[in-house]
């Protein structure tokens, strides 16, 4: 029987980003809380037992979605529902809005945040795959100031990222993309991607990214941008996806098969997108 309640912890609710960063720097056993849809279940299962939880959910100015040059800057606290509903996101990068629309259920979309999803780095999460394909940048603030980390290097393993203790994701910067698609095989209970494949066709290169199969999104960039070369990616996927994860729902072998099927469909859908 799993424990249904978290271990005891201290709760802090900073009113500003600087205050939050100060609190997170105070000791190494402190975790930020955003939407709580991944952290709280982990705490109830005692897979996470932070001594202090720093609730960043009401820090003003972290949930904005705005134009950033030709692309977008999405605040870490933007919920999946607000990304899905944003006309600006639909205009500049429709695939991100449709991805957000397909996350979990209504409650998860209303509470869960893009920053929390990226920081949590669940292999079955949708945003990590899509932002990697888009060539996005994760904006991070910590005790030493601000830095930007390419999504391609941000996810380092199962539930692990390039974030150092005490650092917060504050935003993600996403280039605009029209020819893009993301398809997933949804887990029937949760909606998580058993396998998800994103394809973004740019002028200089096409990027195909597979999520859910190994610990991190796997990027395969193809240049020049020719349909046949990109479609060949699907055939070569088993080599790129060694160490596929297995669980009670899907074996590693089945995941690789799904990745090949979804990659072919995602590539076609990206080329067909307006
Ligand atoms: C039933 C269910 C179904 C789901 N289905 C899907 C799905 O289909 N697809 C999908 O992608 N996800 C799914 N999720 C996960 C959901 O999207 C979560 O909301 C998301 O993974 C975490 O976001 P959060 O804001 O809730 O983060 P939290 O749970 O608050 O935090 C998650 C982790 O990130 C850290 N963190 C949070 N914010 C920051 C920040 N700004 N900077 C640094 N660290 C931070 C926390 O300390 C914690 O370690 C599902 C969750 C549930 C409960």
**Rounded to an integer, what distance in angstroms lies between the CA atom of residue 234 and that of residue 129?**
16
Structure tokens at 134: 């888009």
**Rounded to an integer, what distance in angstroms lies between the CA atom of residue 90 and that of residue 83?**
9
List C-alpha distances in Å: 1 to 44, 46, 50.
12, 12, 21
Ligand 1 and 78: CB distance under 6 A: no
* The predicted structure's pLDDT at residue 2: 61
CA 9 centroid distance within chain: 27
Residues ≥6 apart with Cβ < 8 Å to 236:
220
Residue with the smallest CA separation from ligand 1 atom 12 is 125
Residue to mutate, 14, 28, 30, 39, ligand 1, most ligand atoms under 8 Å from C-beta: 39
Closest CA to 172 of 218, 205, 141, 210: 141
Q: Which atom in ligand 1 lies closest to the alpha carbon of residue 34?
A: 30
Ligand 1 and 36: CB distance under 6 A: yes
* The predicted structure's pLDDT at residue 226: 82
Q: What is the dihedral of CA 55, 26, 43, 63, to 10 degrees?
A: 30
Closest CA to 52 of 84, 76, 20: 20
3-state secondary structure of 164: coil
* The predicted structure's pLDDT at residue 68: 97
List C-alpha distances in Å: 25 to 57, 87, 199.
18, 37, 38
Residue with the smallest CA separation from ligand 1 atom 43 is 168
Rounded to the nearest whole angstrom, what is the distance from the C-alpha of residue 113 to the centroid of ligand 1? 6
**Rounded to an integer, what distance in angstroms lies between the CA atom of residue 153 and that of residue 47?**
25
Task: Give the strands of the sheet with 168-174, arranged side by side.
Answer: 65-68, 71-75, 168-174, 137-142, 145-150
Rounded to the nearest whole angstrom, what is the distance from the C-alpha of residue 131 to the centroid of ligand 1? 15
Each residue's pLDDT expressed in tens, for the chain with a length of 274 residues = 566 899 999 999 999 999 999 999 987 799 999 999 999 999 999 999 999 999 999 999 999 999 999 999 999 999 999 999 999 999 999 999 999 999 999 999 999 999 999 999 999 999 999 999 999 999 999 999 999 999 999 999 999 999 998 999 999 999 999 999 999 999 999 999 999 999 999 989 999 999 999 999 999 988 878 878 888 898 889 999 989 999 999 999 999 999 999 999 999 999 999 7
Ligand 1 and 174: CB distance under 6 A: no
* The predicted structure's pLDDT at residue 127: 98
Rounded to the nearest whole angstrom, what is the distance from the C-alpha of residue 121 to the centroid of ligand 1? 8
List C-alpha distances in Å: 7 to 24, 35, 43, 186, 252.
19, 19, 7, 32, 34
On whether the pTM is more than 0.85, the answer is yes
Q: Which atom in ligand 1 lies closest to the alpha carbon of residue 105?
A: 3
* The predicted structure's pLDDT at residue 225: 83
Ligand 1 and 120: CB distance under 6 A: yes
* The predicted structure's pLDDT at residue 4: 80
Residues ≥6 apart with Cβ < 8 Å to 53:
9, 10, 11, 12, 30, 31, 32, 33, 39
């Amino acid at each position: 029987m799993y424990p249904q309640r978290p271990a005891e912890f201290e709760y802090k609710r900073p009113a500003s980003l600087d205050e939050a960063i100060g609190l997170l720097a105070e000791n190494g056993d402190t975790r930020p809380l955003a939407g709580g849809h991944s952290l709280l279940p982990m705490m109830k299962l005692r897979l996470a037992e932070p001594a202090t939880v720093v609730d960043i959910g009401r820090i003003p100015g972290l949930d904005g979605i705005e134009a950033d040059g030709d692309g977008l800057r999405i605040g870490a606290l933007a919920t999946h529902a607000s990304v899905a509903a944003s006309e600006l996101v639909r205009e500049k990068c429709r695939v991100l809005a449709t991805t957000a629309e397909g996350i979990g259920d209504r409650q998860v979309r209303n509470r869960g945040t893009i920053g929390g999803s990226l920081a949590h780095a669940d292999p079955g999460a949708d945003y990590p795959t899509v932002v990697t394909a888009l060539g996005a940048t994760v904006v991070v603030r910590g005790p030493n100031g601000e830095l930007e980390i390419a999504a391609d290097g941000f996810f380092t393993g199962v539930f692990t990222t390039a974030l150092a203790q005490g650092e917060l994701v504050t935003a993600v910067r996403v280039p605009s993309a029209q020819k893009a698609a993301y398809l997933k095989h949804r887990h029937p209970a949760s909606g998580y991607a058993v396998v998800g494949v994103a394809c973004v066709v740019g002028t200089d290169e096409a990027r195909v990214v597979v999520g859910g199969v190994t610990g991190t999104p796997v990027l395969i960039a193809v240049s020049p941008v020719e349909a046949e070369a990109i479609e060949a990616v699907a055939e070569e996927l088993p080599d790129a996806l060694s160490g596929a994860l297995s669980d009670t729902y899907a074996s590693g072998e089945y995941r690789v098969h799904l990745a090949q099927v979804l990659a072919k469909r995602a590539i076609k859908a990206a080329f067909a997108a307006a």
